[in-house]
Amino acid sequence: MITTYREAMRQAIRDAMQRDERVFVMGEDVGAYGGCYAVSKGLMDEFGPERIRDTPLSESGFTGAGIGAAMGGMRPIVEIMTVNFSLLALDQIVNNAATLRHMSGGQFSVPLVIRMATGAGRQLAAQHSHSLEVWYAHVPGLKVLAPATVEDARGMLWTALEDPDPVIIFEHVGLYNDKGELPDDAGAVPIDRAAVRREGSDVTLITYGGNLGKCRTAATRLEAEGISAEVIDLRTLRPLDDETIMDSVRKTHRAVIVDEGWRTCSLASEISARIMEQCLYELEAPVQRVCSLEVPIPYPQHLEQAAIPQPETIVAAAKEVLGR
């Protein structure tokens, strides 16, 4: 079945709510409006306002309510409209959801799923377009997911809701209209493993979320020039799947990390450090990082596109590590 990323995520929510009456959705405009990106469109009519709950514009308030509901035995899906707005709930996520199991000596768990849009490319300007996934990947006690395919959008939510600890799912805004094949028997997807999306032998392209398509495009362009690029989709940003990353780097001996976050203190920095800690003597060139420019994401389309990774910048980085 061909479906969109948006529809796959909606189906994942619908299936979860049909399967478990403890599951409910809460967030800004998720109900009558159908969600800022139309992911929850129609679900309020199907499940009613008790299970598709519109909230006030108070990220700290409704995220805290979600934490309390999870501790009370429910399985809430909290939607935060965009990652930039999640900073208003940072105290609840980092100081409460992520720490309660530890601080209670294992007596309490917080089976909470938080979904939020991330990334640039939709001309939503600097307060709606940043990629702050690494802020959350830095925090022990959280699992951080970045589904990049229709199948992962459908299957990762299933697994996240079964986890006893808080899980954050980042959905890149550039993916919602993407179409892909969803098997009729699609089910749960692991949330602790990266995936090799394309086999290659000359250079490893490591990425996640909205940049997977750009890396695939870059790999196709490189192939036309006789360069074989392997593409790794991280899928899970915490915990990182070191085994899949290192196996690929040991095979190709070169790595380019593509990350829409800013270069300084980025997820790309962490992965680069791990590669050099574990595979230094396998490398035939320094690890390259392709990140967003160190500026607030601009509003004008041409400036926005110039500020974020593009296939041509990925191709250039791959050629550089190959000495071409």
Mind telling me the catalytic residues? Answer: 59, 128
SS3 content of the chain, % helix, strand, coil (to 5): 40, 20, 40
Phi, psi of 160 (to 5 degrees): -60, -40
Residues 25, 40: contact at Cβ < 8 Å? yes
CB neighbours of residue 244 within 10 Å = 18
User: 150-162 vs 5-19: helix axis angle to the nearest 10?
Assistant: 30
Phi, psi of 276 (to 5 degrees): -75, -25
For the CA atoms of 24, 30, 33, 34, what is the dihedral angle to 10 degrees? -70
95/86 Cα distance (integer angstroms): 14
